[in-house]
Amino acid sequence: MAVSPTPKPASNSEVAGSEINLLPTNFQPQLPLAVALSGGADSTALLLACVRKWPSQVRAIHIHHGLQAAADLFAEHCQTLCHTLSVPLVLCKVNAHHAPGQSPEDAARRARYSALTSAVHQDLALRGVRSVVLAQHADDQVETLLLALSRGAGLPGLASMPAQWERDGLKWYRPWLDVPGAVLRDYLNSEKISWVEDPTNQDQQLTRNRIRAQLLPALERSFPQFRDTFARSASHAAQAQEILNEVAAADLLAVMLTGQPSIALLQKLSSARQSLVLRHWLKTGFQTTPSAVQLNELVSQIAACTTRGHQLHLKVGRGFVRRDEQVLIWAPEG
């Protein structure tokens, strides 16, 4: 673990007296709120800004992934920072190791969100919290969009990260999707606040790190406004996806029979509408997302269900879709 070379953390009086605040004026979460604190520059700056704006109304949650030797030092750094700022800290240890066939990044993300949700609902130190604030910024949004493009993603991927959403009874916020990462580091340096540098961020075997180290500087030279223009494209994709979600929800309601999608009613939709409603069914009902190949095969098999004897049993997402008489049923693996 590397710690930024700033000499000392600011005192509470210094924090309260600063004139810098990067939080947007339209960011008005329900208080008290919890900040997801990794100890890195982005989440450290977010914690500091929230403490300055809402003194005594901020809590912090640190997720100990246990994926590298420095994990204990990350936690110690967060404890020191929160003690300095008089912020209650909840430390959660999780098993973020990935299963066969699952990406390490996806496994860590799922473990992180699950732990954040459980902590808010169960830990007494977080009583009353219904707002969770995350520190992803404009550079993270660009990286997410470029990753989606590199994978041939559809609108959900191109929409990148939402600025706010609701899940599991909580409101989630990303107030800094318009703020470059360099601005956050400048902010911390001006406040004399240190942060943790994750050594894995320098590993260019990871695609996201290559994007950050090689593509973003090239984009900065060629298209200085790329963060704003990329953000607009992501916003357009998000708006289009919102409309499609409304169509999918209406279609799903129309094709349901005894609580499951009817094969005959699905067959009355175009292939594109079938794909849309099936993806929506799987995501909203079972929190699983099929690949394009799986979804295309599922639509093809639905079209072939013209007799009662035609069987259907396909791997889709993290489970299987099978035919049960007139309807489709999804079941998880195992």
Q: Is residue 246 one of the residues assigned to a domain? A: no
Same-domain check for residues 106 and 197 = yes
Q: What percent of the chain has pLDDT over 70?
A: 89
When divided into structural domains, the chain yields a total of 2
The domain of 327 spans 258-332
Q: How confident is the model at residue 36 (pLDDT cuts 50, 70, 90)?
A: very high
Check whether 316 has a pLDDT greater than 90. Answer: yes
Which is more confident, 15 or 265? 265
Which is more confident, 101 or 80? 80
Check whether 240 has a pLDDT greater than 50. Answer: yes
Buried b (16+ CB within 10 A) or exposed e, 60-78: bbbbbbebeebbeebbebb
Check whether 86 has a pLDDT greater than 80. Answer: yes
Q: How far apart are the first and last CA of the chain?
A: 39
Confidence at residue 104, expressed as pLDDT on a 0 to 100 scale: 62
Confidence at residue 20, expressed as pLDDT on a 0 to 100 scale: 55
3-class DSSP state for residue 189? helix
Q: Is residue 253 one of the residues assigned to a domain? A: no
Q: Is residue 231 one of the residues assigned to a domain? A: no
Same-domain check for residues 297 and 210 = no
Q: How confident is the model at residue 16 (pLDDT cuts 50, 70, 90)?
A: very low
Q: Which residues contact 23 (CB under 8 A, 6 or more apart)?
A: 49, 50, 53, 175
Q: Is residue 249 one of the residues assigned to a domain? A: no
What are the residues facing 256 on neighbouring strands? 261
Kind plus residue range of the DSSP H or E element containing 327: strand 327-332
Q: How confident is the model at residue 239 (pLDDT cuts 50, 70, 90)?
A: very high
Same-domain check for residues 159 and 205 = yes
Last residue of one domain, picked from the residues 196, 222, 248: 222
Average pLDDT, the chain: 88
Contact 330, 316 (CB under 8 A): yes
Check whether 302 has a pLDDT greater than 70. Answer: yes
Same-domain check for residues 149 and 24 = yes
In DSSP notation, 72-131 reads HHHHHHHHHHHHHHT--EEEEE---PPPTTS-HHHHHHHHHHHHHHHHHHH-GGGTT--E
How buried is 253 (Cβ within 10 angstroms: 0-12 exposed, 13-18 middle, 19+ buried)? exposed
Check whether 38 has a pLDDT greater than 80. Answer: yes
Residue 323: what are its φ and ψ, rounded to 5°? Answer: -90, 135
- The whole-angstrom separation of Cα 247 and Cα 251 is 6
Q: Is residue 23 one of the residues assigned to a domain? A: yes
Q: How confident is the model at residue 4 (pLDDT cuts 50, 70, 90)?
A: very low
How buried is 152 (Cβ within 10 angstroms: 0-12 exposed, 13-18 middle, 19+ buried)? exposed
Mean pLDDT for 58-75 is: 83
Last residue of one domain, picked from the residues 176, 204, 222: 222
Mean pLDDT for 282-294 is: 91
Q: Look up residue 163 and give its DSSP letter.
A: S
Check whether 234 has a pLDDT greater than 60. Answer: yes
Check whether 155 has a pLDDT greater than 70. Answer: yes
Contact 323, 332 (CB under 8 A): no
Same-domain check for residues 146 and 269 = no
Q: Is residue 316 one of the residues assigned to a domain? A: yes
Confidence at residue 44, expressed as pLDDT on a 0 to 100 scale: 96
In DSSP notation, 202-215 reads G-TTSHHHHIIIII
Check whether 121 has a pLDDT greater than 60. Answer: yes
Amino acid at 204: Q
Number of Cβ atoms within 10 Å of the Cβ of 285: 12
Same-domain check for residues 66 and 157 = yes
Q: Is residue 242 one of the residues assigned to a domain? A: no
Same-domain check for residues 283 and 213 = no
Same-domain check for residues 148 and 265 = no
Mean pLDDT for 13-42 is: 80
Contact 82, 37 (CB under 8 A): yes
Which is more confident, 110 or 114? 114
Same-domain check for residues 290 and 177 = no
